Structure formats: C-alpha cells, structure tokens
C-alpha cells in the first residue's frame, strides 16, 4: 500500500467561508513545507519498502532523509556559496530525472553519505564566478551501506530489552513511541521531517526482525 497523497487544501476564514484548491496547484516549496508539518505526516504503511539517506557531519551529527523509491544511486555532491552555503546532493532515478536533495546544515562539513553504499566526501575543487563559488566534492566508497547503523540498532534494541518480533507484527503507526525511543538512543535526527526518521527505525525493525 503506497503512502497516501494529499489531494486538496482547505483554508477556513473567521466568517465561516472557505477556499479550496488542489494540493498540486500549490508551489513546490509550499507543498514541501506543509508536508513537513507533524499534523499531516503519516507513518509509511510499508517502511521496509522506502529508501533512505543517512547524512553524517564531522561533528557527529547524523540525519535521516526519506527519498523517492525510484532513486538508485548517488550522482554527485556540491555546495553553492553566495551569502550562505547550500549543499546539493543529486541522486539518479530510474526514470532518468535526478532527485535533488538540499543540504542546509553546515554543507561544507558533511563527512559521509550512506545510500546503497557509504561514501566519504573530500573537497576536490572550488570554482569562483562573480559573487558565487561552487565547491565540488569527490565521493570515495568507504563502507557497505547501512551495515554500521544496523549493528548500532541491534545493540540498542538488545540493551533496552525491546522485542523485535513483537514490534514487527504491529502496524507502523502503532510503534511510533518505541521508534522514537530507539531514535534517541541511536542519536539520529530528522533531516526534513520527524516522520522520516521514525519510518527509518520502523524500516530497521521490519528488516532485522
């Protein structure tokens, strides 16, 4: 069962009148911000079928981002510097149109990216043009995907006395409290929305149990 998709948005005014519009008619940035909000973030019905990115910084901060299931591999990572730094992570997709992930937190200090494999980042070159500088990073394969995070997950579950078989038998929406507890113990943060990292923990539960 795919994740439910929003169909329309309703704005109710204090005089009782309402304005209704198709959700797809909203600007992409507004759709994104709305879907980040907790009141519309629903647990994935099949978290084990979703795809996730794990971003790790040199200060130990780690973020999880859920990406389109059609994404197949990392294409490249670069940072655009103007008044501020903004990272761009490009993922190849099966339909030929890359998915672009924006990295806002300390993009020049991103250390590792895990998707199908784990890659370490190294600044390769910086090209300045006017008031803009583009920083291009090389990606060196340094691990086998999520094997390290799975090991850490198993250690937390064992230490906390959590029964994986019991969790895996329940619907994702029914185990959100346990997933939140595991998330905190593992030190994982949400890159875009809190539900992404909870779905990722549910994904680990389903995959390992």
Query: Do residues 209 and 164 make contact, with C-beta atoms less than 8 angstroms apart?
Result: yes
Among 204, 106, 98, 95, smallest CA distance to 157 is for: 204
Is residue 134 packed enough to be buried (19+ CB in 10 Å), middle (13-18) or exposed (0-12)?
middle
Q: Report d(CA 189, CA 120) in Å as an integer.
A: 19
Q: Half-sphere exposure of residue 88, counting CA atoms within 13 Å on the CB side?
A: 13
Is the distance from CB of 207 to CB of 51 less than 8 angstroms?
Answer: no
What six digits make up the tokens of 145?
Answer: 């995907």
pLDDT in tens, 157-203: 999 898 888 888 888 778 888 899 999 999 999 998 889 999 999 99
Contact 189, 200 (CB under 8 A): no
C-alpha Rg value of the chain to the nearest Å = 19
Coil, strand or helix at 63: strand
Other Cβ atoms closer than 10 A to 84 = 8
Q: How far apart are CA 7 and CA 35, in angstroms?
A: 12
Of 7-21, 31-45, 109-123, 124-138, which range is least confident?
31-45
Structure tokens at 107: 């993009």
User: CA of 185: how far to CAs of 133, 138, 182, 189, in Å?
Assistant: 38, 32, 5, 11
pLDDT in the model for residue 103 = 94
Tokens for 30, please give them: 């507004």
Predicted local distance difference test score (pLDDT) of residue 2: 58
CA nearest neighbour of 38 among 206, 198, 171, 205: 198
Q: What pLDDT is stored for residue 204 in this prediction?
A: 92
**Phi/psi at 154 (nearest 5 deg)?**
-60, -40
Question: Whole-number mean pLDDT of the chain?
Answer: 90
Q: Is the pLDDT of residue 63 over 60?
A: yes
DSSP per-residue codes, 11-24: EE-TTS-EEEEEGG
Cβ atoms within 10 Å, residue 131: 8
């Amino acid at each position: 069962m795919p994740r439910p998709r929003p169909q329309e948005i309703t704005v109710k005014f204090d005089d009782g009148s309402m304005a209704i519009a198709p959700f797809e008619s909203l600007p992409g940035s507004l759709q994104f911000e709305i879907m980040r909000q907790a009141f519309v973030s629903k647990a994935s019905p099949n978290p084990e079928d979703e795809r996730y990115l794990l971003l790790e910084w040199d200060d130990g901060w780690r973020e999880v981002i859920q990406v389109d299931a059609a994404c197949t591999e990392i294409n490249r990572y670069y940072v655009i510097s103007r008044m501020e730094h903004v990272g761009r992570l490009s993922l190849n997709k099966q339909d030929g149109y890359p998915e672009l992930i924006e990295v806002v937190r300390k993009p020049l200090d991103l250390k590792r990216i895990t998707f199908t494999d784990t890659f370490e980042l190294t600044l390769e070159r910086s090209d300045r043009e006017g008031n803009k500088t583009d920083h291009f990073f090389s990606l060196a394969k340094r691990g086998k995907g999520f094997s390290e995070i799975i090991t850490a997950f198993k250690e937390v579950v064992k230490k906390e006395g959590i029964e994986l078989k019991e969790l895996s038998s329940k619907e994702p929406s029914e185990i959100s409290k346990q997933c939140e507890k595991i998330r905190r113990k593992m030190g994982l943060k949400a890159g875009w929305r809190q539900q992404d990292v909870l779905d990722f923990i549910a994904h680990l539960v389903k995959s390992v149990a």
